[in-house]
Amino acid sequence: MMLAEFTDLMAAGAADRADDAILRDNLLGKPSVRARQAALYRLRQLYGVGEACPICAVLHRLWDRDRDGRPMLALFCALARDPTLRDGATAVLDAALGERVRWPAIAGAFEARHPGRLGEEMAKSLAQHAASTWTQAGFLKGAVRKERVRAKPTPTVAAYAAVLASLCGFGGMRLVESRWLDVLDRPIADRLALLRRAEGLGLARVRTVGDVMEIDIRGPLGRTLGVQELVER
């Protein structure tokens, strides 16, 4: 997930000038030009550094607001931008608490989505990197023997998840029940409670009229963070 590198970039306030910071100034302390180029490429791929896309702008503006939520905020952005990471998610999200999650299970999830697309070595490498990502985000623990644990989302993380679900066309209770909010690793009632707490931060609007649930996420969050593209969608 390159969480450490992204954290260093954000701490230096260099997300908007990543090319110079990483390639010229070697902010990340890489040992070669090729390593710097590879790091910049992957940070662009996962987090949109140097880009103006709305979901990346939201990530960058939530970063300083929620230190505890940073690993999960980074995970959600990576999930939105990396299809391979999404493809392997079921192996982690559907595992029972305390269950051991091995890289072959994640590779098997890749294979189920795209039969024959990845060779054995590539699948292993991608699965091991994915396992590291889920560990950094708080869904797995252990260096070698990785075990499923309960993640710890914050209201800010819930708002970010809801924005992604909204951009995918979900609304109301369908949004709360969507796979995006499954990644909050909490039951439905807790997801709603997190969104209501996000409302207090100006990041959401949650209303219930009879049996109808109305969730406005793009408007409040876009206005609070100054991401006009979300307000206009």
Pick the CATH number of 155-232 from 1.25.10, 1.10.3470, 2.40.160, 1.10.10: 1.10.10
CATH code linked to domain 80-148: 1.10.10
Where exactly are the structural domains of the chain?
1-51, 80-148, 155-232
pTM (2 d.p.): 0.94
pLDDT tens track for 7-58 = 999 999 999 899 999 999 999 999 999 999 999 999 999 999 988 889 999 9
End-to-end, the C-alpha distance of the chain in Å comes to: 29
Q: Kindly indicate the confidence band of residue 147, based on its pLDDT and cuts at 50, 70 and 90.
A: very high
Identical fold at 80-148 and 155-232? yes
pLDDT tens track for 166-212 = 999 999 999 999 999 999 999 999 999 999 999 999 999 999 888 88
